[in-house]
Amino acid sequence: MSRFRSLWKASLDATKKALTWNVEDLMPPTERLIFNFNSREELKKWHLYSDSEYGGSSSASLEIMDEGNGLKAEGSKWNISRSGFCGMRSKKFDGFIDLDAYDTIALKLKGDGRSYISTIYTENWVNSPGQMEDNSWQAFVFVPKDNWYIARIPLARYLPTWRGNVIDASMEMNQSRILGMSLSVNAGGGIPGARSGPGDFKVELDWIKAFRTQ
């Protein structure tokens, strides 16, 4: 009987240990690094876009900082014209990334007092006729001038958009199918009090992460 109890206890302990390991293994970390702008290889993951593709005169450039601690996007004088825009967008992930366990996107930035637009692209829920593009979700982010700043944006604050305009529809972000991200700037609009209008701009980006705060 004593030997049977010993074997049963050993089996029970092993089962408890296995169950505990499985639960911990399935629990995602509280933060997840998505992009880390610390090498020139990062440039290969991004491309620029602007209103110049549609006959506008806005322009921008991307470069890795010499000290290796960030990516700088900037435009020369008069680079944003009238209601122009410039942006940097990541190339599509190899498949997609799953951020369903997270509730916040954080960006470490240093800027010029302008308001920028953080965009998340997700797999389209429904490919309706004439609408084969990815879903896009946008939120404004203010970037203070000259000092590094960590902007934390709850995913619930991202609104569904279509070509820059908010969609008046009840939609839910497909957080398990994230295809890419972008950061852009417009000459007009944005957060009240932020610098706006045509002219030059500069923003540095160190990293982008997802956080689980609840």
d(CA 75, CA 203): 10
pLDDT of 26 strictly over 80 = no
State the average pLDDT over residues 85-109.
89
Highest mean pLDDT among 4-13, 39-48, 55-64, 186-195: 39-48
Instruction: Label residue 49 exposed, middle or buried (CB < 10 Å: 0-12, 13-18, 19+).
Output: middle
Assigned token pair, 179: 């295809």
At 191 the three-state DSSP class reads coil
Q: At a CB cut-off of 8 Å and minimum separation 6, what does 93 contact? A: 178, 179, 180
pLDDT score for 60: 65
Angle made by CA atoms 68, 145, 88, in degrees to the nearest 5? 55
Q: Which helix (H) or strand (E) holds 10?
A: helix 2-26
What dotted CATH number matches 30-211? 2.60.120.430
pLDDT score for 152: 96
d(CA 129, CA 135): 14
pLDDT of 66 strictly over 90 = no
Q: At a CB cut-off of 8 Å and minimum separation 6, what does 31 contact? A: 209, 210, 211, 212
pLDDT score for 188: 73
User: What letter does residue 114 receive in the DSSP assignment?
Assistant: B
List pLDDT tens digits, range 164-214: 778 877 788 999 999 999 998 887 777 887 887 777 788 889 999 999 998
d(CA 108, CA 206): 5
pLDDT score for 200: 79
Q: Which helix (H) or strand (E) holds 150?
A: strand 149-154
State the average pLDDT over residues 37-61.
72
Residue identified by tokens 């366990």 is: 101
pLDDT score for 71: 62
Contacts 24+ apart (CB under 8 A), 156-159: 156/103, 158/105, 158/118, 158/120
pLDDT score for 210: 97
